[in-house]
Structure 1
Amino acid sequence: MKVKIQKKSMLCLAALAINIPVSHGQSSVNISGFLDIGIYRDSAKTIKIGPLKRSNIALSATEDLGNGLRAHVMLSHRFETDTGENESFNKPFFHGESTLGLSGRFGAVKLGRRLDAIYDKQSLFDPWDNFHRIASPAWNVWNSNYPSDPQGNNNHPEWGRLNNGIYYDSPSVHGFSLHLSGSPETDATALNKPLATVLLYKNTRFSGMLGYGKNSQGNTDAVVGWKTTFHHLSLMGSYDVSKRNGSTAKATTLGLLYKMNPVTLRAGWGRLNRDGDKKKEIFSLGGSYNLSRRTSLYADAAHNIFPDKSVNTFGIGISHGF
């Protein structure tokens, strides 16, 4: 399969891969990625071929600096598997992530572009990991009024990542961890400096999240999430309130995940209310079958209810991680 990627950017990526040794002493470089493609019907009732999830290729490097200190590099490029093009014309080549940082007993600090603290952790509370355009309740209703970086994609809004960011992930203490993201750098349109914080609790049976963020335009997002696991079965839910330019969006989701290898079953529900009016409700079902540790087949469907219509969306696809 031929993949068309911008020539200059691809040459830079190749040069980087050539010039960083795959292994040298206590350092290592990994090439990884996730590819997804399927056939689906969208909310416009159009049949399409393309990624139902997101495809990416990444270069990551780790160097052991001694005394528990490590250096980390991550570069992640996202693209459309049906055409090989960049994910969107207005997004940077390393749209997924471009960070450099250090980790140690203090936790981890990274600088660059990455998911902000809220978007980074919310995926734990959705059966589709906030990663499926047809079936994921999170994808369809969360953070409706909260672009993490209003100018993050060449002066277009970014819904997830923060440019020029500083990110801190604390070590886990008795299951609790603190996650922060922000930036001291703003553009001429900014009203304040962005900051997001998440308190996360995780053990083998229960996970919980409290998060709050404000972007550079003063838009805010507050979220509560929970997940309980009983052997093969996980139940989860979230409540998200996002505010933008005087408008308030409230999103509630519930989900079910059942894993018994090689089969995973999923079910979800979500509702979005904006300024007191119901804007969308979604009921979704899906399942996947692991052909191997890296490759899986899946089928998903959703019933979407809008104020003026209802639409059934569905899709089947294949994904491979490496």
Structure 2
Amino acid sequence: MQKKLIALAVATLVAAPAFAQSNVTVYGVVDMGLDHRSGSKTHKNRSGLDSGLQSGSRIGFRGVEDLGNGLKASFVLEQGINVDRNSTAGLLGSNANRQSFLALSGGFGTVALGRQETPQHKFVDAVDPFGGGTVGQANGVYAKTASRLDNVIAYVTPDFSGFSLTAAYTANGTADEAAIPKNTPDTNLKVFALHPVYKNGPLLVGLNYIRTKAETATQDNKSSTWEVGAAYDFGVLRLSVLYGEIDYDNHATYGDNDRKQWMLGASIPVGAAGKVAVSYVNAEYDKKIAGNNIEGKQVAVGYFHDLSKRTNLYAAYAKRSDEMRFTNSGSGVVENNTGYKNGLNVGIRHRF
């Protein structure tokens, strides 16, 4: 019986040459840890075994086909996974679709179409000593436009001795492009992003510009973001800095307001397998929001230890100011004195 099953499996593989020739790679992350929150004015302390504290748990498929003459077609299909609990959406959970895009690349660069990570998200996480993960991530106070957007068309230039430029646009970054009746507000979220970056050895430096617009019956809900960031690895430590400003124009939540934010951080090697990460993040608005002066601060420290090239342990602690606290789930910021003030993560991550 066992020999018959093996023969059947081999026959199935032989009968599917198209899959074998398409050069498809399966990859993913399984991340589990303890998440503890405290210091809320409205909620009891919370401790839970959660998925995706350092990196979102996921499974992905990446494929590429050589079309000849330097031209290649490629795709990424990446799905989030809830490892810690059952879900009405099954294994993949409700946050299933992380990335899904098709790309064409050659001597001209790369053009990609679909749901994609934003240039700002990738750059900020590359500069952040916490890599955009755990309670220590800069994104807890340092606001990003979005991690991923729908319906994106992106162009990335070839690499010119370390320099490249990404331009991206979406006609609706959070849903399908709706059919809008005439003489009514265009509620589609339009986002344009421009990101030049230079990477050379220990040096990483880049700029971001993002413009967003989504109309309502009474407002345009526009914002413009620009930022500069850099990181340099001195060997004994990697020093990181970010500075950005967001200009809100007639926004439903922030009105006509400006937000200034910055981060200073460092990553310090400990032996051959460990590193300590530290950061300080600050954000403030020029004007009051709902009658409140809003200023956020976060101090974070963490330790990451590699057990192998694919598996690591992590521990991180962060403390935020009263005005900007962790939400109940730890994913984002609540800016009117709700949520948790202190966060602690301890966990393990495996990449495959």
If the TM-score is normalised by the length of the shorter chain, which range does it land in? 0.7 to 0.9
> What letter matches 2:124 in structure 1?
Q
1:20–1:29 CA contact under 8 A, matched in 2 = no
Query: Which residue is equivalent to 1:4?
Result: none
Query: Which residue is equivalent to 2:32?
Result: 37
Identical positions, percent? 26
Query: Which residue is equivalent to 2:247?
Result: 243
The TM-score with structure 2 as length reference comes to: 0.74
> What letter matches 1:237 in structure 2?
V
1:21–1:29 CA contact under 8 A, matched in 2 = no
> What letter matches 1:162 in structure 2?
L
For residue 300 of structure 1, report the CA deviation from its aligned partner: 0.9
> Which residue of the other structure, out of 197, 201, 212, is the alignment partner of 2:198?
201
Would you say 1:164 and 2:145 are equivalent positions?
no
For residue 88 of structure 1, report the CA deviation from its aligned partner: 6.7
2:34–2:47 CA contact under 8 A, matched in 1 = yes
2:171–2:189 CA contact under 8 A, matched in 1 = no
Deviations 1:283-312 (A, max 9, x none): 111111111111111111112222469833
| Alpha-carbon distance in structure 2 between the residues aligned to 1:227 and 1:20 | 45
For residue 220 of structure 1, report the CA deviation from its aligned partner: 2.1
Would you say 1:292 and 2:308 are equivalent positions?
yes
Three-state SS of the structure 2 residue aligned to 1:219 is strand
| Alpha-carbon distance in structure 2 between the residues aligned to 1:304 and 1:315 | 15
Query: Which residue is equivalent to 2:280?
Result: 269
* Pair member with larger Rg: 2
Count of equivalent residues: 285
Would you say 1:211 and 2:208 are equivalent positions?
yes
Three-state SS of the structure 2 residue aligned to 1:120 is helix
For residue 21 of structure 1, report the CA deviation from its aligned partner: 4.6
| Alpha-carbon distance in structure 2 between the residues aligned to 1:40 and 1:143 | 22
| Alpha-carbon distance in structure 1 between the residues aligned to 2:346 and 2:168 | 36
| Alpha-carbon distance in structure 2 between the residues aligned to 1:70 and 1:283 | 44
1:271–1:278 CA contact under 8 A, matched in 2 = no
Query: Which residue is equivalent to 2:48?
Result: 48
| Alpha-carbon distance in structure 2 between the residues aligned to 1:60 and 1:208 | 28
Would you say 1:222 and 2:226 are equivalent positions?
yes
> What letter matches 1:34 in structure 2?
V
- C-alpha distance 139-19 of structure 1, shift in aligned 2 (>3 A): farther
Query: Which residue is equivalent to 1:126?
Result: 128
2:24–2:61 CA contact under 8 A, matched in 1 = yes
| Alpha-carbon distance in structure 1 between the residues aligned to 2:64 and 2:319 | 44
Deviations 1:245-272 (A, max 9, x none): 1232221111111235311211111012
| Alpha-carbon distance in structure 2 between the residues aligned to 1:118 and 1:298 | 25
- Pairing of 1:1-322 with structure 2 (within 5 A): 21-24=18-21, 27-43=22-38, 44=40, 45-51=45-51, 52-53=53-54, 54-85=56-87, 89=94, 91=95, 93-94=96-97, 96-132=98-134, 134-136=135-137, 138-143=138-143, 146=145, 159-184=146-171, 186-187=177-178, 188=180, 189-190=186-187, 193-217=190-214, 218-244=222-248, 245=251, 246-259=256-269, 260-276=271-287, 277-307=293-323, 311-322=341-352
Query: Which residue is equivalent to 2:9?
Result: none
| Alpha-carbon distance in structure 1 between the residues aligned to 2:73 and 2:130 | 31
2:80–2:93 CA contact under 8 A, matched in 1 = no
Three-state SS of the structure 1 residue aligned to 2:124 is helix
- C-alpha distance 252-64 of structure 1, shift in aligned 2 (>3 A): same
Three-state SS of the structure 2 residue aligned to 1:121 is helix
| Alpha-carbon distance in structure 1 between the residues aligned to 2:17 and 2:241 | 43
| Alpha-carbon distance in structure 1 between the residues aligned to 2:272 and 2:232 | 19
| Alpha-carbon distance in structure 1 between the residues aligned to 2:163 and 2:262 | 24
Deviations 1:133-187 (A, max 9, x none): x111x2212226x3xxxxxxxxxxxx32221110111112132110111025644
- C-alpha distance 252-19 of structure 1, shift in aligned 2 (>3 A): farther
Q: Which runs of 5+ in 1 are unaligned?
A: 1-17, 147-158
Q: Which runs of 5+ in 2 are unaligned?
A: 1-14, 181-185, 215-221, 288-292, 324-336
